[in-house]
Amino acid sequence: MKTHALLLAGVALGTCIAMPAFAQAAPDADTDTGLQDIVVTAQRQSQSLQRVPIAVTAVTAGDLASRQITNTLNLESAVPNLTLTQNGVSVTPFLRGVGSNQSNPNDEASVATYIDGVYIPSVTGNIFKFNNVERIEVLKGPQGTLFGRNATGGVIQIVTRDPDIDAPLLDVSIGAGKYGTIEANGYASTGLGEKAAIDLAVSFDRNDGYGKDINRNADIFKHNQLGLRSKLLFKPGENTEIRLTADYSRLNSTGTDYQLRQGVIGADGVTSYPGKRRTNTDWKNTGDNDIYGASLRIDQDMGFARLASITGYRHVKGDFHLDQDATPTPIVQADINQFAESYSQELQLLAPTDSKIDWLVGGYYFHAKYAYTPLRLGGLAAAPLPAIDLFGDQKTKSLSIYGQATVPVTATTKITGGLRYTYEKQDTDGRTESGGVVFPHAPNALCPGATTDCPQSQDIKKLTWRVSIDQELGDGVLGYLSYNRGIKSGGFNMINAGTPGYKPEILDAYEAGLKMQLFDRRVRLNAAAFIYDYQDIQVFNITGGGAVLTTNAAAARVHGFDADIAIKATSNLTLSGGFGWLDGKYTDFPNATYTPPSPLMGPQVPIDATGNRMIYAPKYSGNVTVDYRMPTSVGEFGVNVSAAVRSRVFVTAANRLAIPGYTVVNSTLSWTSQDQRFGAQFWVRNLFDKDYYLNRTEQALGDIQFLAPPRTIGVTLSFKSR
């Protein structure tokens, strides 16, 4: 720890020595031409981005629209060191190399997603369109105190807008594009008297597909999605705010249309790569889910403190059909039915706004049930039976208490300390059957006396923390050092009943950062260097016949750097970008799995992956955006060009199969009327029609993959009532 702290302190000090002189060189300027201040809730209350001693990338609603960041998957183009992988209708985020490639319903993400303060536990429930969003905050590094639950890699916070009590609002848009793309968004808000308001947000998008299954002569890469969200805001008194929110979304799609990778012969011994955006299967892939939830937030200013109560409920049901072998021969036909339901209750007591010491204490209760209902395997993998049904469930109950305080030591120096204690109990059970007949299993020490099912349980008790010091180094310049510990909870292999559970991951993070706002707010530069010690990493393997197994099998070390910059070059021209660099390697991984590219090349075998690069940890990633606005007598015209680049990433610790690096460019041309009521936008996604992969997977049946969408062109028209 001492070595890490000294190294990061040296980086920060060496950079900081020159900063006061640089800040003093700022020329005089009209402050109206500066960048707008961004308010974030990284510490569970509203603060300026530049005052928070945490590495945060914030993306505003305007940025989302102009850069064509329309859904969860697009977010990685705006956040350095963020990688998002798609598996069916699940999105698994990796931040600074920390993440999980698991896709079971009980495998909560290492990078936790929150919407308006409510935790979204299931990776199946975190792929959605962005609508009525005020901003998205990506907190980097373990957030083991204030967010606690499974925030080893970081937190993605989605903040939606509140309805307006004072005046009604209607904001609608409809767009159409290539491949039968239709996108429609609507937002309506109105006051209900002087103390309440309600809104409704609707989003819809679909496309007719941009690929073909050559065996079934069917269109693929199709989807149809509908989302509804409503919020009621009630202010019964000057010091009380109540927000009741409900949402529903439905997705029907062809799921993950996998193909065999180039040069790979499939498990049937015949089938090979079918061509770009083509598949060759016997089984219709689908990816459908239904998600709904509700939340209640109550904020009460009691004078001596502020009280916040956040109650949340989430329900996810997923139905996926997958031809896992990706050949015309019925070898493995997987019908995957997943279920996740969770309830959470959080209470916070915060310091009054005029307190010199900024403190917060809280408690969090989480109750969830996850299940396969069931996962059915058909085809030759089930022979001589028509199908094999794998049932499994896990129940989780978690209770944590936490507190954090920031104490001013001098007029320019603050120290922050926080602790969180978590107790968790997990129970699981599972069975295998066919045609309603339950299969017996051999005697198992993990569930003594059981013959068909195999019930197990485990308890988890962990203490996590945060310690930081931040120093004002000049006007608009803040430096900080921090040490954080976070955990990702353990769990069970639900469709492998009778196998041991896996324990939590532990991550210790050492970080030094600078936040600078210079030249009369014309330049904003936020940067951080970090070192991670990563222990008991949960590793996920896919074996033949669709079996999956998670174990604690590795340790790793990550060194890295990331930065965000925004420049208001003129009143009409804004330049922004981000850059990330990672050096993440396994320091101890003696029993990794090597999977040959084709099942004809032999079985999976254990290897020593110590020294190999971590999965989904690009050596570099970055983005740059040029945004120009030109006011005229007939309205404002705008041009936005954004590019995202990232280097290759390995998909397993064996470092055999990689997703190649790529650069993708999006662009928009827009017009807004002088009264800002009418608008039109011409957009191009993947401007140069680059072929890049959203997913590649090693499995015993042969390497499989699928490409991102090709160049898509469209037009969106919009209307706003005020």
Domain boundaries defined on the chain: 2-720
Backbone angles phi, psi at 579, to 5 degrees: -145, 140
Q: What is the 3-state secondary structure (H, E, C) of 47-72?
A: EEHHHCCCCEEEEEHHHHHHCCCCEH
How far is 69 from 62, CA to CA, in rounded Å? 10
pLDDT bucket at 527, cuts 50 / 70 / 90: very high
The residues, any chain, with a CB within 8 Å of residue 411's CB and separated by 6 or more, are none
Give the chain's end-to-end CA distance (angstroms, integer).
55
How far is 509 from 389, CA to CA, in rounded Å? 42
The residues, any chain, with a CB within 8 Å of residue 29's CB and separated by 6 or more, are 519, 520, 522
Rounded mean pLDDT, 268-275: 96
How far is 367 from 372, CA to CA, in rounded Å? 18
**pLDDT single digits (tens) 38-87:** 999 989 888 999 999 999 999 988 888 888 887 777 888 899 999 988 77
**pLDDT single digits (tens) 617-655:** 999 999 999 999 999 999 999 999 999 999 999 999 999
- Which residue carries 């004809």 as its tokens? 600
Q: Which of 82-96, 343-357, 529-543 has the highest mean pLDDT?
A: 343-357
User: Burial of 245 by CB count in 10 Å (0-12 exposed, 13-18 middle, 19+ buried)?
Assistant: buried
How far is 376 from 360, CA to CA, in rounded Å? 47
pLDDT bucket at 424, cuts 50 / 70 / 90: very high
Tokens of 397: 């109950």
pLDDT bucket at 129, cuts 50 / 70 / 90: confident
- For domain 2-720, the CATH superfamily is TonB-dependent receptor, beta-barrel domain (2.40.170.20)
| Cβ proximity of 624 and 642 under 8 Å | yes
The residues, any chain, with a CB within 8 Å of residue 149's CB and separated by 6 or more, are 108, 112, 119, 364, 366, 398, 400, 422, 489
With a pLDDT cut of 90, the percent of the chain lying above it is 79
How far is 628 from 632, CA to CA, in rounded Å? 13
**pLDDT single digits (tens) 274-309:** 999 999 999 899 999 999 999 999 999 999 999 999
Radius of gyration from C-alpha coordinates of the chain: 26
**pLDDT single digits (tens) 555-604:** 999 999 999 999 999 999 999 999 999 999 999 999 899 999 999 999 99
* Position 141, amino acid: G
